[in-house]
Structure 1
Amino acid sequence: MKPFDIRVIETVIVIVAYIVCFFMTKVTVNKFLKNTQLQRGRRKIMIKAFNLISLFAAILLIGAIWGLKQNQIALFTSTILTALGIAFFAQWSLLSNITSSIILFFNHPLKIGDTIEILDKDYTIEGEISDLTYFFVHLKLSNEKIITIPNSLILQKSVAVIEKTKVKTK
């Protein structure tokens, strides 16, 4: 077999393994995290994070299969880590929203289903949190409209939790 054919087969194996991992994650992580009594919204965020890490691992494996050297992979990884470090200081960038999502997940009392009010001197916003993503908090307003607010803005503004959700374990 030619080296090119072997690389194609290995790449297909990595992609299939990633797809299987992607679909198995929800079931496996949910079963594991149900024992820890984490809320459903928190489990959903953990699954998203696990899938993102799996994607990065698959990309690194495919890069190694196709001949990227260790120093090239290390350079790529250090570039990503440097960009994340800069995100801690960047105020309005997309990377700061990702960093803010990590801070919101671990250190903020906001959860999916909570009703919150974002206090602003010009325009206050009140709604139920319908989703927390890497970049945005999705709020469902009383008129059933859904708006998105950048995670970094949530950390900059004062937020009042009006109504907490009941703990759902399933």
Structure 2
Amino acid sequence: MNLHETQILETVLVVLAVVIVRRILGQILKKIYLNLDLQERRFQLVNKIKDIILYLVALVFILTIWSVGQNEIFLFVSSFLTILGITLFAQWSLLSNITAGIILFVNHPAKVGDRIHVIDKEFNISGDISDIGLFFISITTDEKMEITIPNSLIFQKMVEIGNSTFNESG
């Protein structure tokens, strides 16, 4: 068996390992989700993050199998992170919305389906949280209007949390 055939076989084994590990971790996460009675939206997001991390690890293994040098990988990653850093620095509000979105998702008492009232002297907004995204939180008002508010604004304002009237199934 020559080097090229060995690399193809190792790549196939890595792909099979990813499929098996992805399925096993998915089942474990599903059990945790059911035992802790978490929201479906949060489970989907955690599942996506699991897949991204798993695919990145598999990519590193495959690049190593195919003898891509560490210097080339480091050059690519550092170039990508530099461009990303410049972009985020140029759009500071974008970075603050992402950070606020993560904090809202992990630590804020308001969750999808909760009724909230954003207390602001210029714009008083009340409604049910229909989605918490990476940049915006979506609120469905009593008039069935969909309002999106930047996460950083929700994070900075006082928010009153009440009972839910939002129906997650539609």
TM > 0.5 between the two? yes
Could you tell me which residue of structure 2 aligns to residue 29 of structure 1? 29
Q: Please state if 1:134 is matched with 2:134.
A: yes
Report if the CA contact (8 A) 1:116-1:162 is conserved.
yes
Report if the CA contact (8 A) 1:97-1:136 is conserved.
yes
Could you tell me which residue of structure 1 aligns to residue 147 of structure 2? 147
Could you tell me which residue of structure 2 aligns to residue 57 of structure 1? 57
In structure 1, give the amino acid aligned to 2:150.
Answer: P
Residue ranges of structure 1 left out of the alignment (5+ in a row): 166-170
SS at match of 2:122: coil
Deviation, 1:112, is 1.1
- Pair 14,74 (structure 1): closer, same or farther in 2 beyond 3 Å: same
How do 1:150-169 residues align onto structure 2 when only pairs under 5 Å count? 150-163=150-163
TM-score normalised by the chain length of structure 2: 0.64
- Report % sequence identity: 36
CA distance in 2, matches of 1:147, 1:9: 52
CA distance in 2, matches of 1:47, 1:3: 36
SS at match of 2:93: coil
Q: Where is the helix percentage greater, Structure 1 or Structure 2?
A: 2
Report if the CA contact (8 A) 2:128-2:164 is conserved.
no
Please give the root-mean-square deviation of Cα atoms over the aligned residues, in Å: 3.9
- Pair 130,51 (structure 1): closer, same or farther in 2 beyond 3 Å: farther
Deviation, 1:6, is 7.1
Could you tell me which residue of structure 2 aligns to residue 39 of structure 1? 38
CA distance in 2, matches of 1:147, 1:20: 41
Could you tell me which residue of structure 1 aligns to residue 114 of structure 2? 114
**Residues paired across the two proteins, number:** 162
How do 1:41-120 residues align onto structure 2 when only pairs under 5 Å count? 41-64=41-64, 67-74=67-74, 76=77, 80=81, 91-93=92-94, 95-120=95-120
Deviation, 1:52, is 3.2
- Pair 48,92 (structure 1): closer, same or farther in 2 beyond 3 Å: same
- Structure with the bigger RCO (C-alpha within 8 Å, sep 6+) is 1
- Pair 164,141 (structure 1): closer, same or farther in 2 beyond 3 Å: closer
CA distance in 2, matches of 1:18, 1:51: 9
TM-score normalised by the chain length of structure 1: 0.64
Report if the CA contact (8 A) 1:136-1:150 is conserved.
yes
Residue ranges of structure 2 left out of the alignment (5+ in a row): 166-170
Larger-gyration structure (1/2):
2
- Pair 73,30 (structure 1): closer, same or farther in 2 beyond 3 Å: same
CA distance in 2, matches of 1:2, 1:145: 64
More displaced stretch, 42-51 vs 99-108: 42-51
